[in-house]
């Protein structure tokens, strides 16, 4: 017994010594001096096999990380995430703690499994296993290994070569039984030295892909921007499986994907409801086809509550239309199911439409896999064109493509085997406008203003969302916050609101305000900055470190006009110069004009992008720096 115990100790020490000798700590500490840790090895192995005459797919993830200095706290907590499409069958984590010339292995014993709670989702079947690495210190080595068994091989996870800290060696291995045909798509690998090796051994074919010395993620993610947009990764998928001489197709073409997805929608509109039919007849009686579709769309927006719901296959299967109608709530699929059913009842061609939001950078024609989309909408097919109708997008006007899918491909149902792929247009900057025109006078040190504000397009939608649920007697506080000018002493005193929650009309707000302690006095001069609003002034991006991209939900235009009435007894001694900045992505134009007893400043800002990364951020910073300079320019009045 003592000999066996001694042998086990020798083996553990041998592993520890080998782990230590596999790298030169001082060399790595110097090479990666900008970082607190480095991943020495990262490997993901997919095994595609046939076990007991059934398809068996597993994914094993291994990662070793070296702590380079005393700043180790940020690496203590870690997690494993997975969904109902795979099972976490094995996990192991430990820390190799340096102790003189030796290492001591300290294992992780406490793994806590929880649901992945997301404030935007009512129920989410994905899970997290959370744990903490013990005894972290400079020179410590952490090791994590876990294994998934896939319940459904249609939903394989992507494997990323990169991480949030540098990786010395990153490898993905596909081990494939010869009776299984596997393919893969590579994304964002240009510029990386990707080493690919293919070979066979026994009844398996192997594909190995490796990248050495890969830097960390260059950008943070965001609402509609993720690491998928820029980080190198592989999307493996099964093309075909030969089980006992019978071949079963999986993916590879859009036809394959559509055939798989179509099975989930076949029963969504089969049930009938007299109450629903009578409602549709009442809504659409005597209307043109376009107006029928418009009325149906607005009814769903106003009467069905959106509740996101993700639970296994129910994340792909729409709730039946009659159930959504009865319950008065549904997720994107359920709301699409109801809109489609109502269109059909009105005699129009209603269609199910799949689409990926801009958070996913994939196209159906390039990566026809289940990971290509994450959203469903309805479509009214009018001849060769398709008018998309997203029930989750409250206040959006009929016929307008929601901004989070603009520029994306949509997959439109035709029948059991046929479909259409259509690319969504992008609304121009002139569609979504904020125009804020103010007439201001100076009384002592207080500016009094009368203003007219107009919101169109998606700017109107955003304002409607911001004011949704606000009580009428609290509008002044909300407008004081939303329309804030000058300083924190800005207050809206009176207002009138037009068309804020009405479709197909611009929202208009007439309001009056006061702004105290805004002007500067020096002897017989008054200094007035006519830029009461200074948007984007603090948005210079430091590109020397990891950063988030500049994200813009939609192309838009903002126009701010200040007409200042010259006080009696004063004359204008200095008017700032006009200024402008022009690029294809972003621009501004600032002008000053003296008319009778007024000086009018106009600032028009225009954005033609969804997100900016790389060299485009230099353009952004150049514009913002020039704006900042102009925002400091003041009108000077001299006492007569």
Cα-flanking dihedrals φ and ψ of residue 263, to 5°?
-60, -25
Q: Give dist(CA 95, CA 72) in Å, integer.
A: 12
Report strand pairing: 159-160 vs 102-107.
unpaired
pLDDT confidence band for 570 (50 / 70 / 90): very high
The pLDDT assigned to 17 comes to: 41
Mean pLDDT lowest among 115-129, 291-305, 341-355, 417-431: 115-129
Annotate 443-463 with b (16+ C-beta within 10 A) or e (fewer).
Answer: eeeebebebebbbbbbbbbbb
Same domain, 401 and 445: no
Same domain, 455 and 417: no
Q: CA–CA separation, 61 vs 79, rounded Å?
A: 13
Mean pLDDT of 566-580: 94
The residue segments making up the domain with residue 86 are 2-248
Residue at 314 is within a domain: yes
Q: Give the CA radius of gyration of the chain.
A: 30
Q: What is the mean pLDDT of residues 462-484?
A: 94
Position 18 scores a pLDDT of 45
Q: Are residues 364 and 226 in the same domain?
A: no
Q: 114-128, 357-371, 395-409, 605-619: which has the minimum mean pLDDT?
A: 114-128
The predicted structure's pLDDT at residue 190: 93
Residue 23 confidence (pLDDT) above 80: no
**What pLDDT score was predicted for residue 125?**
65
Count Cβ atoms within 10 A of the Cβ of residue 218 and give its class: 0-12 exposed, 13-18 middle, 19 or more buried: middle
Whether 120 has a pLDDT exceeding 70, the answer reads no
Domain boundary among 379, 400, 423: 423
Q: Report residue 88's pLDDT band, with 50, 70 and 90 as the boundaries.
A: very high
- Binned at pLDDT 50, 70 and 90, residue 626 comes out as very high
428 assigned to some structural domain:
no
Name which of 303-312, 534-543, 575-584 the model is least confident about: 303-312
Measure the CA angle with vertex 386, ends 385 and 390; round to 5°: 160
Residue 507 lies in a domain: yes
pLDDT of residue 355 exceeding 90, the answer is yes
pLDDT of residue 363: 97
19 vs 81, residue with greater confidence: 81
Q: Which long-range contacts (CB under 8 A, 24 or more apart) does 284-289 make?
A: 284/346, 289/348, 289/382
Q: How many other β-carbons are positioned within 10 Å of the β-carbon of residue 611?
A: 17
Q: Is residue 131 assigned to a domain?
A: yes
The confidence score (pLDDT) of residue 11 equals 38
Q: How confident is the model at residue 310 (pLDDT cuts 50, 70, 90)?
A: low
* Domain at 487, CATH number: 2.60.120.1130
Q: What is the pLDDT averaged over residues 14-41?
A: 77
Q: What is the pLDDT of residue 446?
A: 87
- Per-residue pLDDT tens digits for 334-354: 999 999 999 999 999 999 999
pLDDT of residue 343: 98
pLDDT given for residue 313 in this prediction: 63
Cβ count within 10 A of residue 140? 23
Same domain, 327 and 472: no
Residue 443: predicted pLDDT: 86
Which residues does 253 contact at the CB level (< 8 Å), separation at least 6? 368
Q: Is the pLDDT of residue 306 over 50?
A: yes
Residues 576 and 623 in one domain: yes
Kindly tell me if the per-residue pLDDT of 534 is higher than 80.
Answer: yes
Say yes or no: 217 and 346 in one domain. Answer: no
Percent of the chain with pLDDT over 90: 83
Q: Which of 248, 274, 296 is the last residue of a domain?
A: 248
Residue 523 DSSP class: T
For position 225, which CATH number holds? 2.60.40.3140
Do 495 and 629 belong to one domain?
yes
* The last residue of a domain, from among 215, 248, 281: 248
The confidence band for 126, taking pLDDT boundaries of 50, 70 and 90, is confident
Residue 586 in this model has a pLDDT that exceeds 80: yes
Q: Residue 314's pLDDT is what?
A: 62
Q: What is the pLDDT of residue 118?
A: 55
245-254, 289-298, 307-316, 494-503: least confident range: 307-316
Q: Higher pLDDT residue, 123 or 406?
A: 406
> What's the total number of domains in the chain?
3
Query: Do residues 463 and 543 share a domain?
Result: yes
Assigned domain for 295 exists:
yes
In a domain, 16, yes or no: yes
Same-domain check for residues 476 and 395: no
Q: How confident is the model at residue 116 (pLDDT cuts 50, 70, 90)?
A: low
- What's the predicted TM-score (pTM) here? 0.90
Region 381-395 average pLDDT: 94
Residues 490 and 399 in one domain: no
In a domain, 213, yes or no: yes
pLDDT at position 220: 83
Q: Please give the Cα distance from 371 to 358 (Å, whole number).
A: 13
Task: Please indicate whether residue 588 or residue 3 has the higher confidence score (pLDDT).
Answer: 588
Span 473-479, average pLDDT: 93
What is the mean pLDDT of the segment spanning 71-97? 92
pLDDT over 50 at 263, yes or no: yes
The verdict on 223 and 139 lying in the same domain is yes
pLDDT value of position 272: 93
User: Looking at residues 188-199, what average pLDDT do you find?
Assistant: 95
Residues 200-215 pLDDT 10s: 999 999 999 999 999 9
Does residue 438 carry a pLDDT above 50?
yes
Look at residue 117 and tell me whether its pLDDT is greater than 70: no
- Per-residue model confidence (pLDDT) at position 121: 45
For the record, the structure tokens of 544 come out as: 């020397």
Query: Can you tell me the mean pLDDT for 47-73?
Result: 95
* Position 12 confidence tier, pLDDT thresholds 50, 70, 90: very low
Window from 13-22, 237-246, 286-295, 543-552 with minimum mean pLDDT: 13-22
Average model confidence (pLDDT) across the chain: 91
Instruction: Please report the pLDDT score of residue 10 as a whole number.
Output: 37
Confidence of residue 6 (pLDDT cuts 50, 70, 90): very low
- Tally of CB atoms within 10 A around 105: 15
Q: Are residues 560 and 588 in the same domain?
A: yes
Describe the crossing of helices 274-284 and 289-303 by its angle, rounded to 10 degrees: 120
């Amino acid at each position: 017994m003592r000999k066996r115990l001694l042998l086990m100790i020798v083996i553990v020490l041998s592993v520890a010594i080998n782990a230590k000798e596999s790298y030169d700590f001082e060399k790595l500490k110097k090479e990666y001096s900008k970082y607190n840790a480095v991943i020495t090895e990262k490997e993901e192995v997919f095994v595609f096999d046939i076990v007991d005459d059934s398809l068996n797919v597993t994914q094993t993830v291994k990662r070793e990380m070296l702590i380079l200095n005393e700043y180790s706290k940020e690496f203590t907590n870690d997690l494993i995430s997975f969904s109902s499409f795979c099972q976490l069958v094995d996990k192991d984590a430990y820390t190799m703690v340096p102790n003189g010339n030796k290492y001591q292995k300290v294992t992780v014993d406490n793994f806590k499994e929880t649901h992945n709670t997301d404030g935007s989702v009512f129920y989410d079947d994905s899970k997290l296993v959370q744990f903490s690495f013990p005894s972290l210190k400079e020179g410590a080595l952490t090791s994590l290994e876990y294994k998934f068994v896939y319940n459904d091989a249609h939903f394989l996870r992507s494997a990323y070569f990169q991480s949030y800290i540098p990786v010395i060696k990153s490898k993905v291995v596909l081990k494939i039984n010869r009776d299984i045909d596997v393919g893969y798509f590579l994304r964002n690998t240009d510029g990386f030295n990707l080493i690919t090796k293919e070979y066979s051994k026994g009844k398996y074919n192997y594909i190995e892909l490796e990248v050495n010395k890969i830097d960390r993620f260059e950008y943070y993610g965001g609402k509609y921007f993720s690491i998928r947009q820029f980080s190198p990764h592989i999307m493996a998928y099964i093309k075909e499986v030969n089980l006992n001489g019978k071949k079963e197709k999986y993916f590879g073409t859009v036809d394959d994907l559509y055939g798989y997805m179509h099975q989930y929608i076949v029963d969504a509109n089969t049930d009938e409801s007299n109450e629903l039919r009578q409602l549709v007849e009442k809504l659409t009686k005597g209307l043109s086809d376009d107006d029928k579709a418009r009325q149906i769309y607005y009814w769903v927006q106003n009467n069905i509550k959106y509740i996101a719901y993700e639970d296994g296959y129910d994340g792909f299967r729409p709730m039946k239309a009659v159930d959504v109608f009865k319950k008065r709530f549904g997720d994107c699929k359920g709301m699409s199911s109801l809109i489609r059913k109502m269109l059909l009842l009105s005699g129009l061609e209603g269609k199910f439409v799949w689409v990926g939001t801009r958070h996913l950078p994939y196209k159906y024609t390039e990566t026809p896999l289940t990971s290509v989309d994450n959203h469903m909408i309805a479509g009214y097919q009018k001849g060769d064109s398709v008018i998309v109708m997203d029930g989750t997008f409250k206040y959006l006007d009929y016929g307008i493509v929601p901004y989070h899918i603009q520029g994306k491909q949509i997959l439109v149902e035709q029948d059991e085997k046929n479909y259409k792929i259509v690319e969504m247009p992008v609304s121009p900057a002139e569609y979504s406008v904020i125009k804020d025109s103010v007439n201001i006078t100076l009384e002592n040190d207080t500016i009094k203003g009368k203003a007219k504000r107009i919101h169109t397009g998606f700017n109107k939608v955003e304002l409607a969302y911001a004011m949704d649920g606000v009580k009428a007697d609290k509008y002044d506080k909300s407008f004081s916050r939303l329309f804030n000018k000058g300083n924190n002493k800005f207050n809206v005193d009176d207002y009138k609101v037009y068309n804020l929650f009405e479709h197909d009309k611009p929202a208009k707000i007439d309001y009056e305000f006061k702004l105290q302690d805004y002007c500067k006095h020096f002897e017989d001069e008054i200094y007035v900055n006519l830029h009461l609003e200074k948007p984007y002034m603090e948005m210079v991006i430091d590109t020397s470190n990891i950063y988030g991209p500049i994200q813009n939900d939609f192309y838009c235009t903002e126009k701010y006009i200040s007409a200042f009435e010259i006080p009696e007894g004063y004359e204008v001694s200095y008017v700032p110069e006009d200024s402008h900045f022009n690029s294809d992505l972003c621009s501004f134009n600032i002008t000053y004009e003296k008319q009778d007893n007024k000086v009018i400043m106009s600032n028009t800002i225009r954005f033609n992008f969804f997100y900016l990364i790389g060299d485009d951020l230099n353009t952004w910073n150049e514009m913002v720096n020039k704006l900042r300079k102009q925002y400091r320019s003041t009108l000077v009045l001299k006492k007569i």
